[in-house]
Amino acid sequence: MMKTSRFDTRLGESRSRIVSSTSLKMMLSMLSIIAASKTNAQNITPIPAVRPDPNGAISAERTRAQKLFQALTAVRVPIDDARVIQMEALIRQGNLRGAAAVASKDPLFLDIQIRDTAREMSDRDETVRAPMSDFVATFIGIVRDSDTTSAKEMLTGNFYYRVDPAIIATLPTNATIRQNEATDILTSNNHYADLSARGLSPQAVLIRQSPQRISQRVNNVETPVDHPDPAGLITTRAFTGAHAVAGTNRRMVEYSFREFMCLPMAEFADADAPDDRVARDVTRTPSGSVNLYQSSCKACHGQMDGFRGAFAFLDFTNNGQRIGTNVVAKMNRNQTEFPQGYVTTDNSVVNYATLGKNVDQLGWRSALTGNGMAGFGKMMADSRAFSRCMVRRAFKRVCRRSPLTQEEQMVRSLADQFEIDGYHMRHMYENVAIHPQCVQ
């Protein structure tokens, strides 16, 4: 039986085996050719070929550096990779934050780790298999530009990210990026699908575009216009396409809380909240029971319907986000279910998630009333729950587990530092990765 060489471990591939020095040279040569072919400025960053030293010692600091790099980038590189060696030296100096910064500044951090975080947040399935989209690209862009862009702008920004037209102009005609604003960005995902299909590196090619835009459809003609009520990622085409299509726009509230506050509806439901905003399509006697409504239905709808007014003018039809000046019909559908229920007449927002457990877990710090999606987004961005949610998401991705109940103080401490650092997403990921309860 053939023995496994130590060389296998150093390559980070436990099942690979060295057959002969000739085959090894051939393999390294092929890796170098592949790497060279992908080094064009905009391509996904390759993992450089490394010629390991099979006789070199592996220090504890080197092992930790490799784990830290993998935790932050979601990519395992050889233990003799130059970046790992650089991180090892910093760890020996006691500079854990500096070591983490080597990984977070590497293009793989954005192109893989942050991309997949955004994918999970961008659609109803909450999966990394979600496509590249304006939501994903904008999330990546905000993290890339952390030095100048606060994470709060994920919920308040009036911009989006797309492929830089100057870079598109340098691409061959048979591998270009479709970029017609109306047909390829605002009413389809063509632009972002091409970004993914061409194998381009998002961190290298994305540019911030302001303001956000939507398309008005008149006589079957699509005309791009400035977004009248922008709220960062909430008002991207991908997010509204996932949650504002059909329905009653309650999913826009539900998934905003799921993705940006890390709270499913059941976790912030409160039967003590007022129900004066619960709409007419909600029966007050489910299964013939008033008590069931009071104890269950009201707990969710009392709060959800208070926030739902933010989306009163929003619809998603003909593949595009549509926003007018009148309340869309779906906001007041099924009006005979309970005619005495609330009728939406404007886009006002009332925050009723302010009692009991929600005082602490949501931590509101701005006005509890407002108007439109921008008002709703700011309300969420100013909350403590938003900061804690970003930490929880980073912890789950980097540490490969969710924080435990007994680690709540750790989450809050990291969230406080996140805010002190000016909502700097990249620094927050570094702080999570070097925390004693994460990567060792």
Looking at the structure, tell me whether residues 88 and 206 fall in a common domain.
no
In a domain, 180, yes or no: yes
What does the pLDDT read at residue 51?
A: 67
Looking at the structure, tell me whether residues 101 and 115 fall in a common domain.
no
What does the pLDDT read at residue 43?
A: 66
If pLDDT is split at 50, 70 and 90, which confidence band does 440 have?
Answer: confident
In a domain, 375, yes or no: no
Question: What is the number of domains present in the chain?
Answer: 4
| In the predicted structure, residue 49 carries a pLDDT above the cut 80 | no
In a domain, 54, yes or no: yes
In a domain, 200, yes or no: yes
What does the pLDDT read at residue 439?
A: 81
- Among 181, 216, 243, the domain boundary falls at 243
In a domain, 439, yes or no: no
What does the pLDDT read at residue 415?
A: 98
Pairing state between β 160-163 and 206-209? antiparallel
What does the pLDDT read at residue 11?
A: 40
How far apart are the C-alpha atoms of 60 and 224, rounded to whole Å?
56
- Among 209, 225, 243, the domain boundary falls at 243
Looking at the structure, tell me whether residues 83 and 43 fall in a common domain.
yes
Predicted TM-score of the model (pTM)? 0.89
pLDDT average, residue stretch 262-288: 94
In a domain, 257, yes or no: yes
How far apart are the C-alpha atoms of 27 and 44, rounded to whole Å?
21
Looking at the structure, tell me whether residues 413 and 398 fall in a common domain.
yes
What does the pLDDT read at residue 5?
A: 39
Domain coverage including residue 233:
107-243
Select from 293, 308, 386, 412 the least CA-distant residue to 352.
308
| In the predicted structure, residue 294 carries a pLDDT above the cut 50 | yes
Q: What is the pLDDT of residues 375-401, one digit of tens each?
A: 999 999 999 999 999 999 999 999 999
- Tokens, residue 168: 């598109």
| In the predicted structure, residue 26 carries a pLDDT above the cut 80 | no
Q: What is the pLDDT of residues 399-422, one digit of tens each?
A: 999 999 999 999 999 999 999 999
Looking at the structure, tell me whether residues 63 and 29 fall in a common domain.
yes
Looking at the structure, tell me whether residues 99 and 216 fall in a common domain.
no
pLDDT average, residue stretch 101-107: 98
Question: What value, to the nearest 5°, has the Cα angle with vertex 393 and ends 390 and 395?
Answer: 105
- Among 72, 88, 105, the domain boundary falls at 105
Q: What is the pLDDT of residues 339-366, one digit of tens each?
A: 999 999 999 999 999 999 999 999 999 9
In a domain, 376, yes or no: no
- Percentage of the chain exceeding pLDDT 90: 84
CA 320 to chain CA centroid, nearest Å: 21
For 54-63, 280-289, 322-331, 349-358, which range has the lowest pLDDT when averaged over its residues?
Answer: 54-63
Average pLDDT, the chain: 90
Looking at the structure, tell me whether residues 262 and 314 fall in a common domain.
yes
pLDDT average, residue stretch 184-209: 97
| In the predicted structure, residue 31 carries a pLDDT above the cut 60 | no
What does the pLDDT read at residue 52?
A: 65
What does the pLDDT read at residue 295?
A: 87
How far apart are the C-alpha atoms of 84 and 64, rounded to whole Å?
9
| In the predicted structure, residue 44 carries a pLDDT above the cut 70 | no
What does the pLDDT read at residue 13?
A: 38
Q: What is the pLDDT of residues 115-126, one digit of tens each?
A: 999 999 999 999
Q: What is the pLDDT of residues 163-172, one digit of tens each?
A: 999 999 999 9
